[in-house]
Amino acid sequence: MKFTDMGLSPEILEGISRLGFETPTPVQAAVIPAILNNSRDLVALAQTGTGKTAAFGLPILQMLNPEIKTPQTLILCPTRELCMQIARDLENFAACARGVRILAVYGGADIKPQLSAMVRGVDIVVATPGRMNDLLRRRRADFSKIKRVVLDEADEMLNMGFEEDLEAILSEVPEGAQTLLFSATMPRQVAAIAKKYMTDPEEITVGTRNAGAENISHEFVVVHAKDRYRALKRLADFYPEMYGIVFCRTRQETQDIADHLGKDGYKAESLHGDLTQQQRDRVMKKFRAREMQMLVATDVAARGLDVNDLTHVINYSLPDDLGSYTHRSGRTGRAGKAGVSIALINMREHHKVKCIEKQLGRKFVQRAVPTGANICEARLIGLMERLSQVSPEPGLIDEILPSLCKSLEGLSREELLRRFASLELQRMLDYYSKEPDINAETVHEAVGHAARKKQAAAGGLVELAMNIGKANRLSPKQLMNLVNVADRNSSVEIGRINITHLLSFFEVPRDAAQGVIDSFSKSLVDFEGRQVSVSLAGAGNPAKRDEKRTAHPYSPKDKNRKGGKNPGHWQK
């Protein structure tokens, strides 16, 4: 199907042809005929970046009545940026249609020009709920001829606390007006709005309800919490062409991360609620112009952002609900292009990833944080690829080429490449030569866990107990280091690790177990001022019985602990 097959007017078709559009996206193919052919209310669930503006904008433009001088269509959206973007898109779609008047109404700007334009007369009002409600309170907006209301990104508007404003605005709309609701997800609040203000709506779902875009790769890396920033830097170095958004939980964290990136030489700025509208506009102008590599933002500040061609979304901290994650990842992979969403998690956050996987219906891929060698190799390969694609023009370079060749006589191709690489990446090579591997050891990787389980069933592994645990601030990586320091003559393969409050349990090959026990008794290993001992675990192990008797009062296994179960969003 093409746009020419959808019943759109010649003026509209000419406008979108000038923009280079020929084939509708799935949401456009489903929604445009539905709006053109009947006046029934409609709920469309589709991800951001799938072409929703054209889906509702093209039929709305076609159905305008030039005889009516007051607004015929009201489009509500969550943020100033999205409001301005929708208005610009509609103006472009209507470039060949005569006399279409479109007004963007949003906060953070002088209200007087908006009031004057409303009085002169407009056909379509694109507005944020807060400013639109302000105009209604001043009795400067005439909604008596409104034929259609569009709620774009309804879930985000409700997440941002606009429910009261929406209800006040919708109560001013004539009862027979058609309501078109567009949303990426369908949470309870959106369903409630639909039930209250819509009559028997037709529902169109593009993709899976509450699912992310199919062309986004969901990945995660595991690091200790203290290494999150170092992991972020390494990802930025590994993907030098990255153009993305880094999501943080708090305004302060957002500002701190942006400041650190700037000091370390990266082009990055913050976007959060403490910025004035003028500061926000300046940051967004620079970001859209690609004058910076990374925008560091909170969820609220980034809602409604419409920026094309983002390559990455980095979740510096995971959000507390699926809807926020879906909106974050939906900033990339727009208009059919591929994108990557990467979460930086610590060892205790695997359950969050599992919950998102289950609700999203998508599998996350675990990646390793790039090492210094990985980063330098990727940089050099990229540089060589660009070098191989250069087509030098004849000119001055040909005149000086003989002198250049003479100055490099006696150097092999390998030596030339080696020196070129050192010259190009010397600072990075120096920095990463001192940097350790920051990947945290993972305990429950699915394949490794299955292999260990199979090996244990065959009698290949035996469980040992160590007399220190969480109370001593012991981590799995430290436990493995202790075992292999004590057993100085060989490196012991360690299976499953379980660290409790006072004790730690770990699996080793049966034929290595006695050697590990003996090595601790001989070498007198010390950890945080306590001598470490290891023994066989099991029902007859007195240390294990002591652990059960002296369980920490706030142990997760104690159902009667103070405060009860964790009420967090991730608890099932």
Mean pLDDT of 332-349: 83
Residue spans of alpha helices (H) in 349-494? 350-360, 372-388, 396-407, 413-432, 446-457, 476-486
In the predicted structure, residue 43 carries a pLDDT above the cut 50: yes
Strand order in the sheet with 365-366: 268-271, 294-298, 244-248, 312-315, 339-345, 216-222, 365-366
Tell the residue number behind the tokens 């050697």, with chain if given. Answer: 515
**Residue 207 confidence class, pLDDT cut points 50, 70, 90:** low
Q: For residues 437 and 439, give the distance between their C-alpha atoms in angstroms, rounded to a whole number.
A: 6
| Contact between 313 and 342 (Cβ < 8 Å) | yes
Mean pLDDT of 140-151: 92
The three-class DSSP label of residue 292 is coil
Average pLDDT, the chain: 82
Q: For residues 324 and 311, give the distance between their C-alpha atoms in angstroms, rounded to a whole number.
A: 19
Mean pLDDT of 288-298: 92
Partnered with residue 340 across adjacent β-strands are: 217, 312
Alpha carbon 370 to its chain's center: 19
Mean pLDDT of 293-298: 93
- The more confident residue out of 154 and 210 is 154
Instruction: Give pLDDT, residue 360.
Output: 80
Tokens encoding 420:
């070129």
Among 138-152, 406-420, 446-460, 537-551, the minimum mean pLDDT is found in 537-551
In the predicted structure, residue 308 carries a pLDDT above the cut 80: no
Tokens encoding 247:
């999501």
End-to-end CA distance of the chain, in Å? 44
Mean pLDDT of 328-353: 83
- DSSP-derived letter for residue 323 is H
| Contact between 81 and 306 (Cβ < 8 Å) | yes
Alpha carbon 13 to its chain's center: 35
Q: Encode pLDDT of 414-449 as tens digits.
A: 888 788 777 777 778 788 877 888 888 544 444 444
Mean pLDDT of 192-202: 85
In the predicted structure, residue 542 carries a pLDDT above the cut 90: no
Q: Encode pLDDT of 465-480 as tens digits.
A: 999 988 888 888 888 8
Distances (CA, A) of 264 to 22, 170, 240, 260, 467: 45, 49, 14, 6, 42
Tokens encoding 135:
């105009």
pTM for the model: 0.56
Instruction: Give pLDDT, residue 501.
Output: 83
**Residue 104 confidence class, pLDDT cut points 50, 70, 90:** very high
| Contact between 298 and 249 (Cβ < 8 Å) | yes
Alpha carbon 428 to its chain's center: 27
Cα four-point dihedral sign 519, 520, 526, 528: positive
To which H or E segment does residue 105 belong? strand 102-105
| Contact between 329 and 216 (Cβ < 8 Å) | yes
The Cα diameter of the chain in Å comes to 96
Mean pLDDT of 113-142: 91
Mean pLDDT of 160-188: 86
Q: Encode pLDDT of 374-388 as tens digits.
A: 888 888 888 878 777
In the predicted structure, residue 50 carries a pLDDT above the cut 80: no
Instruction: Give pLDDT, residue 335.
Output: 63
User: Phi, psi at residue 431, to the nearest 5°?
Assistant: -65, -50
Mean pLDDT of 509-525: 84
In the predicted structure, residue 548 carries a pLDDT above the cut 60: no
Could you give all domains of the chain from N- to C-terminal order, each with its CATH number? 3-205 (3.40.50.300), 216-370 (3.40.50.300), 373-432 (no CATH), 446-549 (3.30.70.330)
Mean pLDDT of 207-228: 78
| Contact between 503 and 547 (Cβ < 8 Å) | yes
- For Cα atoms 283, 285, 286, give the angle at the middle one, nearest 5 degrees: 65
**Cβ-proximal residues to 402 (8 Å cutoff; 6+ apart), any chain:** none
User: Phi, psi at residue 488, to the nearest 5°?
Assistant: -65, -25
- The more confident residue out of 160 and 287 is 287
Instruction: Give pLDDT, residue 490.
Output: 61
Mean pLDDT of 307-324: 85
Q: For residues 145 and 47, give the distance between their C-alpha atoms in angstroms, rounded to a whole number.
A: 31
In the predicted structure, residue 262 carries a pLDDT above the cut 50: yes
Q: For residues 502 and 484, give the distance between their C-alpha atoms in angstroms, rounded to a whole number.
A: 21
The three-class DSSP label of residue 124 is strand
Q: For residues 518 and 510, give the distance between their C-alpha atoms in angstroms, rounded to a whole number.
A: 14
In the predicted structure, residue 554 carries a pLDDT above the cut 70: no
In the predicted structure, residue 457 carries a pLDDT above the cut 50: no
Burial classification of residue 335, based on how many CB atoms lie within 10 Å of its CB (0-12 exposed, 13-18 middle, 19 or more buried): exposed
Tell the residue number behind the tokens 């193919």, with chain if given. Answer: 29
